[in-house]
Amino acid sequence: MDTIKLNLEDIRNRIAQAAEKSGRKAEDITLVGVTKTIDPQRIQQLVDLGVTNLGENKVQEICEKHPVITGNPSWHMIGHLQTNKVRQVIDKVTMIHSVDSLRLAQEIEKRAEMMGLVVPVLLEVNMGGEETKSGVSENETYALAKSVAEMPHVCLKGLMTVAPFVENQEKNRNLFRKMRNLFIDIRGKFDHNSSITFLSMGMTNDYEVAIEEGANIVRIGTGLFGARYYG
């Protein structure tokens, strides 16, 4: 009974503890509830429990769920975004976490200008260097940030990473620390009007260590809803 509510309470407590360890408060950390493959009824339950930021990794799912979930949640695009789908999604999301190429950034800029929008984005960094994951390398981040910072209809808000899957979250601590250092570096170089504020890292298996190392957005799905079934 009410599994989502119990899971959420547990996660909120752990977020608060991890925030405290890094000298911050629970309110400094944004929980994005990852709702990919989850049916609208359970998503609505989560929103009604007060989780107002939702993450999806497919444009089609955002477009389907966006009109049916009430309570005006903020939608985050967290998965790989194809350039030919940019125009369908930029007016529905609060932020795109997964900008991983100049070509994609340019397409967002072009479409945002046509639609009269400024789209907040994070650059996705493949800090683990895994071949199967998207994201720019640590070395490419500076160049991409420089290009995006000059785009009038794209607002660079920070960095995001998807760390390798690990059983023991301590194994990702060093990677999160490297992300934090890169974030500080990029912020120092490009942030002339303090818009670079978000470091999105940490998922069900490693969000506590991610927060301890400086994350202020965590993206959690399995921890809230249980294991996903891809039908």
List the one residue out of 34, 33, 85, 38 whose CA is nearest residue 59. 85
How far, in Å, CA of 227 to CA of 150, rounded? 41
Tokens of 34: 């990852």
Tokens coding 211: 């927060």
The reply to whether 36 sits near ligand PLP by the rule CB under 6 A is yes
Q: Determine the interface stretch with ligand PLP among 40-48, 143-151, 168-176, 220-228 (rule: CB under 6 A).
A: 220-228
Whole-number minimum distance, CB 110 to ligand PLP, in Å?
24
Rule CB under 6 A: say whether 172 interacts with ligand PLP.
no
Question: What proportions of the chain, in percent to the nearest 5, are helix, strand and coil?
Answer: 45, 15, 40
**For ligand PLP, the closer CB: 128 or 223:** 223
User: Is the Cβ–Cβ distance between 124 and 99 less than 8 Å?
Assistant: yes
Q: Residue 72 Cβ, how far from ligand PLP at the closest point, in Å?
A: 22
Which CB atom, from 5 or from 110, has the smaller least distance to ligand PLP? 5
Instruction: Note whether 123 binds ligand PLP by CB under 6 A.
Output: no
* Cβ(73)–Cβ(30) below 8 Å: no
**Residues touching ligand PLP, count (CB under 6 A):** 14
Residues lying near ligand PLP in the complex (CB under 6 A): 34, 36, 57, 78-79, 162, 203-205, 219-223
